[in-house]
């Protein structure tokens, strides 16, 4: 599992007849790989919920999203599993099949929500427009394999 976390001042997702937006929080790009397990979903949700990248009163990144009352905009992103080693056209064979990936994506969002964080999803499998104002900028790549953060 791979997740790109961007700390945002504002973020939104638009798809056909669909719109969600948040102010302070995270915009997550969520990739579910062929080898992703439920344990990966759990450890990633816990790690992201507790990551401290928001500034405290001294300007030090010492607060979590829960501490600042932030929200999460979670976007499914199978292209995080693009393999570009051969040729010029990326291969996505390392991404999980959409039927299974969708359920895992929903479960991941539920795990995040269990930490008392508002999680707003994108539209799985849809063409979406994502807009955001990155705060910092802070962008962190998380990866989990076999239930362990890499």
Taking the model in full, what pTM does it have? 0.95
Please report which residue ranges of 9-96 form alpha helices under DSSP H. 38-50, 65-68
Mean of the per-residue pLDDT values for the chain? Answer: 97
Q: Which of 6, 51, 77, 142 is catalytic?
A: 77
Task: Report the pLDDT value the prediction gives residue 79, as an integer from 0 to 100.
Answer: 94
Task: Report the pLDDT value the prediction gives residue 51, as an integer from 0 to 100.
Answer: 98
Q: Which of 6, 54, 78, 108 is catalytic?
A: 78
Catalytic-residue membership of 78: yes
The alpha carbon of residue 143 and the mean position of all alpha carbons in its chain are separated, in whole angstroms, by 11
Task: Report the pLDDT value the prediction gives residue 83, as an integer from 0 to 100.
Answer: 92
Catalytic-residue membership of 19: no
How many C-beta atoms surround the C-beta of residue 49 within 10 A?
A: 19
Q: Which of 79, 100, 139, 150 is catalytic?
A: 79
């Amino acid at each position: 599992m791979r997740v790109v976390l961007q700390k945002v001042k504002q973020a939104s997702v638009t798809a056909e007849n669909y719109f969600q937006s948040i102010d302070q929080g995270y915009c997550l790009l969520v990739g579910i790989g062929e080898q992703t397990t439920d344990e990966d979903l759990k450890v990633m949700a816990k790690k992201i919920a507790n990551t401290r990248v928001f500034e405290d009163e001294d300007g030090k990144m010492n607060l979590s999203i829960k501490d600042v009352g932030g929200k999460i905009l979670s976007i499914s992103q199978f292209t995080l599993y693009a393999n570009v080693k051969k040729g010029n056209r990326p291969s996505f064979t390392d991404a999980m099949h959409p039927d299974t990936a969708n359920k895992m994506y929903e479960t991941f969002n539920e795990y995040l929500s269990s930490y008392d964080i508002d999680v707003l999803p994108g539209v799985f499998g849809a063409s979406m427009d994502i807009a955001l104002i990155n705060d910092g900028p802070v962008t962190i790549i998380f990866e989990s394999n076999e239930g362990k953060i890499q």
